[in-house]
Amino acid sequence: MRTEQLLYWSAVGFYGLSTFSYILGFLAKSEKLFLGGLIAAVVGFLPHVANIVVRWTTGGATPFINISESISLGMGVSILLLLIVQLRASKVRALGVLVMPVAFVMMGWGATLQKDPSSQLVPALQSAWLWVHIVGASTGFSAVLIAAALGLLYLLKMKRQGGVYDRLPALEALDALSYRFVVGGFTLYGVMIVSGAFWADQVKGTFWNWDPVEVWSLISWLIYGIYLHLRITFGWRGQRLAVYSLAAAAAMIVSYWGIPFSMETFHSGFRIEH
């Protein structure tokens, strides 16, 4: 087994252990299992980052050219954001109950799609706008995934009491924090769309091409725009927005990885190899 494969599967294994710990922590109402899940996530994150670095430096694989690398980068940024939030807010230690299962499943899927690290970005596609585009996409997705996890915690705390549920932040605090991450994700996803338009203009001479990925990215961005409109204009709070954030995150996953995987698009030419 090559070094990058060993690193990748080590990350997947620890993410699976983390997923199990978080889910069991809720079932057993055990704070210690949440801590175990967090530790497993940290341990898995180290070989995850090492895998990206090794593939990039030794094989020349830019970490978003094909779909497995795109998944790995997106999940890596999501877990990094999760760990940063954990450092700043220990009361939401249970946050990994959604983030880690998503990371585990997506990384497992990505493992079935991996290719030799030989894909490089052709000179015609290289641009500073592309890097802004990728950073906006990865961090924007990570922010709304955290928002969805906070929505899930809101629903769990609302339905159950005692033990770990009582140690979660108040419902109002969870709702407000989720809103902040949606604002961040909405803004970063807007940066992704705008920078992608400038990049497309450099490459193809037009800002918008009605590529399916472009259309679905716009739809996803508008979905979160509707979230903000419902909250700010119509005063939605609590349970309804918690459910909405979970559904919106699912739509985001489909638009970011599902659409490019299921059909040939302009993005297939530089990032996704079927």
For the purposes of burial, counting CB atoms within 10 Å of the CB of 264, is it exposed (0-12), middle (13-18) or buried (19 or more)?
Answer: exposed
Give the model confidence (pLDDT) of 188-217 as tens digits: 999 999 998 888 888 778 888 888 888 888
pLDDT over 90 for what percent of the chain?
58
Asked if 100 and 42 count as a contact pair (C-beta separation under 8 A), the reply is no
User: What are the pLDDT digits (tens) for 133-187?
Assistant: 999 999 999 999 999 999 999 999 998 877 788 889 999 999 999 999 999 999 9
**Statement: residue 265 has pLDDT above 60:** no
Name the pTM for this structure.
0.89
Task: Say how far apart CA 62 and CA 66 lie, in whole Å.
Answer: 9
